[in-house]
Homo-oligomer: A and B are copies of this chain.
Amino acid sequence: MSKEDSDATRDDLDERTTALIDSIARRIRTSIDKGALPSIELPVRGLTNVKYDEAQGYFALGDAHKVRTLTVNTARSFAQTLRLMATSRAMVEQDDFATKREAYYISKNWGDCRFDEQAESDAIMDDIEALASMHGLSREQLRFYPESHGGAVAGRLTVLDRNPATDAPVEIDCANLGSGAYSIPRAVEHLTFRTDARFVLAIETGGMFQRLNNHRFWDTACCIIVEMGGVPTRATRRFIRLLADKENLPVYCFVDCDPYGFTNIYRTLKVGSGNAAHINRFFCVPRARFLGVTPQDIVDFGLEDATHPLTATDIKRAQDALKNDPFIMAHPEWIAAIKQMLQMGVRAEQQALAKWGLNYVIDDYLPQKLAGTDSFLP
């Protein structure tokens, strides 16, 4: 699936989006013409309808469906679903987009079927997104964009974009932005790339990203660096995924050695999250691997006195992961690493490497780790 999805052009995707919305509308119209109550079949979202397929590499939506039929009770949400889809179709045609927040405000002119709160419009948007995802289309292709910031990018990469106003091609050389970086837009589906990089390095903190960028680590290591800034946003995850798919690049993650880094940041990037399974097929990066910081790194790189004791939250999160996280439970290496951390009783941040000098991370840690990518945690 993924490879083909990634190779589709923006125009293809727009056509498929319009065709999907049209076919739903046509089915409803046919029902009405026949005097039958129209209905929409929507995938069930949530953990009850999630499966983890290791070969596929991410939490995926199962086959359970719910049917929204037009009744007195559902008249409002039924109309809202259709109007939101109509908005989506109009945005595809006009090459425009709306944030989730804007989509909520647009409804203020819909009379009785206006949304009273954004929670309502979000829930219906999630339903439509789940439906579209079964057809290989993401929310961004429906032209509903996230509010959140994309991460920053630098390195041996040229991003091929277009001028949104004139459609003229635009090339952004991410090796030539000085001390600054390229800020990923909120929708990235239309981007293509030119690169001679050998891998993508996804970095947790902005400070570490700035260090590797200022010292042109990406030039000597022949890579692309991406700042995640904590749990990566949708746009950042999709950008990394497209890079991995289109350019066939391995993705290495460089995050803190703590349960949050393992199960929230890394796990989300790699396999997605359980309660948004309908989007994982687009946003997860199954080929991501964990460079570090690992519990063993604390020993191997002498960081013991630059650690912090695990907090109660850390311990709970780690124990939960061992007991309940299908991804962790499927990988003995991760079980061992988390048990090692619990036994050591400490966590370590990526900045802790500064104990050996500010650029120890560039001169020693990263080269040593990158010499043995086979031993990265899965």
Contact = CB atoms under 8 A, between A and B. Distances in A.
Contact of A206 (B96, B148, B162): B148
Interface residues of A, dominant DSSP: mixed
A92 interface: no
A375 B38 CA distance: 53
Given A105-B354, A354-B106, A358-B96, A164 B178 contact: yes
Contact of A215 (B91, B164, B349): B164
A97 B207 CA distance: 10
Contacts of A227: 149
Total copies of this chain within the assembly: 2
Given A101-B205, A149-B229, 16 more contacts: A96-B359, A99-B207, A99-B210, A102-B358, A105-B352, A145-B210, A147-B205, A149-B152, A152-B183, A159-B180, A163-B178, A164-B216, A165-B216, A172-B177, A178-B185, A179-B190
A187 interface: yes
A82 interface: no
A49 B46 CA distance: 54
A180 B178 contact: no
Interface string A159-189: 1011111000010100011111111111100
Nearest to A150: B180
B183 A181 contact: yes
A150 B229 CA distance: 11
A182 B108 CA distance: 34
